[in-house]
């Protein structure tokens, strides 16, 4: 298939591009380079032996987006492009709503207009709101706690209504849990600008000495060691889930959790990182962060049953590959 991957030079998009190429699909990348680097394109070539077609465009630019649909016979879209920092979304909500909603609406419009009937959307477990785990796809969604999460919930709704109105448009909504790790080559990985928002890149920056110490937000949660428990998933497993989702897309609206189904606490992750990589990561316990919940993990059985996909890599591979990438990353 010819697959348009928006945000294809970003963390999850780049790993998905590799898995698509390994499965003999052609990839066209659209990326505005706001949260990604052009060097990733060369690294994708090194890893796969194939250089994907690349357009530096913002997918909220309708005219430029349409040029891609005119020029290429596209069979499916995997839509990663979007702003993704939770904290920033609270202070700049209009930028988040505009970027993340307009991109989804225009891509859907182009798919309907040009007869592209496969759409895979990069959603998030945050759409569940605060609910008791394990989280299942058929749960009613609760109020999201920040604009970033709300853009994911709104995009899901827009895509669902579009699929209901258009028999020839099918969609898969992939709700990610906590993607970490990096490609085993060490060439690509998570490389956020500025101070990382997520735990793993923060840990690797501390291990590398670029940040002094890790702040652990709260150790008084009702969990195994008091720190927050999340369902970490290796980004390569996640990428493989996208290939399965677009290759096995059923007619209509499909929703899948992409997680491992297992929870790991902050301290368990940090200790695994130190042990596997034989390096110290100084940390201190600080107060809880507003909006954080104690425990979140997936019921991952639906994707296994319907897509034949399940996460295969564990915490050891996640911390090993994250550190390998950080050491390579200048």
DSSP letters spanning 85-106: -HHHHHH-HHHHHHHHHHHHHH
Question: Contact with a copy of itself (CB under 8 A): which of 162, 172, 257, 265?
Answer: 162
- The number of beta carbons lying within 10 Å of the beta carbon of residue 271 is 15
- Window of 14-22, 36-44, 91-99, 201-209 that interacts with a copy of itself by CB under 8 A: 91-99
Compute the least distance from the CB of residue 142 to a copy of itself, in Å.
9
Q: What sign has the CA pseudo-torsion 43, 116, 234, 86?
A: positive
- 112 is a site residue for a copy of itself (CB under 8 A): yes
Where do we find the tokens 């000495």? 209
Residues between 61 and 90 that touch a copy of itself (CB under 8 A): 90
- 17 is a site residue for a copy of itself (CB under 8 A): no
Strand partners, 4: 28, 77
- 114 is a site residue for a copy of itself (CB under 8 A): no
Catalytic residue, chosen from 55, 96, 128, 148, is 148
213: tokens are 């110490």
What beta strand segments (E) does the chain contain? 2-6, 26-30, 53-55, 76-79, 118-124, 170-176, 178-180, 214-217, 229-230, 232-234, 253-258, 264-265, 283-286
Residues between 205 and 224 that touch a copy of itself (CB under 8 A): none
Compute the least distance from the CB of residue 69 to a copy of itself, in Å.
15
Question: Contact with a copy of itself (CB under 8 A): which of 1, 102, 276, 285?
Answer: 102
Tell me the C-alpha distance between 28 and 6, whole Å: 8
- 94 is a site residue for a copy of itself (CB under 8 A): yes
DSSP letters spanning 12-64: HHHHHHHHHHHTT-EEEEE--SSSS-THHHHHHHHHHS-PPEEE---TT-HHH
Question: Contact with a copy of itself (CB under 8 A): which of 22, 37, 64, 92?
Answer: 92
Compute the least distance from the CB of residue 249 to a copy of itself, in Å.
20
Site string for a copy of itself, 125-154 (x = CB under 8 A): ---------------xx-x---x--x---x
Tell me if 135 sits within 8 A of 128, measured CB to CB: yes
256 labelled catalytic: no
Binding site for a copy of itself (CB under 8 A): 90-94, 97-98, 101-102, 105, 108-109, 112, 140-141, 143, 147, 150, 154, 157-158, 161-162, 164-165
């Amino acid at each position: 298939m010819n697959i348009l991957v928006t945000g294809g030079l970003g963390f999850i998009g780049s790993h998905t591009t590799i898995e698509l190429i390994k499965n003999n699909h052609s990839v066209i990348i659209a990326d505005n380079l706001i949260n990604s680097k052009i060097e990733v394109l060369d690294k994708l070539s090194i890893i796969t032996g194939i250089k994907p077609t690349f357009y530096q465009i913002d997918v909220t630019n309708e005219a430029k987006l349409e040029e891609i649909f005119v020029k290429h016979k596209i069979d499916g879209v995997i839509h990663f492009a979007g702003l993704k920092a939770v904290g920033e979304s609270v202070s700049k909500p209009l930028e988040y709503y505009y970027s993340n909603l307009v991109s989804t609406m225009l891509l859907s419009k182009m798919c309907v207009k040009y007869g592209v009937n496969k759409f895979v959307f990069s959603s998030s477990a945050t759409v569940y709101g605060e609910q008791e785990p394990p989280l299942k796809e058929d749960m009613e969604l609760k109020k999201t706690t920040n604009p970033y999460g709300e853009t994911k919930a709104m995009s899901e709704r827009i895509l669902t209504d579009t699929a209901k109105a258009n028999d020839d448009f099918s969609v898969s909504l992939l709700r990610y849990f906590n993607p970490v790790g990096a490609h085993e080559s060490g060439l690509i990985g998570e490389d956020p600008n500025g101070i990382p928002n997520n735990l793993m890149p923060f840990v690797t920056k501390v291990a590398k000495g670029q940040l002094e110490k890790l702040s652990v937000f709260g150790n008084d949660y009702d969990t195994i060691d008091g720190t927050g428990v999340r369902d970490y998933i290796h980004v390569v497993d996640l990428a493989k889930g996208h290939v399965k989702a677009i290759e096995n897309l059923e007619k209509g609206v499909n929703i899948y959790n992409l997680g491992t189904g297992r929870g790991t606490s902050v301290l368990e992750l940090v200790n695994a990182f130190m042990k596997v990589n034989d390096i110290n990561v100084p940390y201190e316990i600080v107060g809880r962060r507003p909006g954080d919940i104690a425990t979140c993990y997936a019921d991952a059985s639906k994707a296994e049953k319907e897509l034949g996909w399940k996460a295969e890599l564990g915490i050891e591979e996640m911390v090993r590959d994250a550190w390998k990438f950080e050491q390579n990353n200048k």
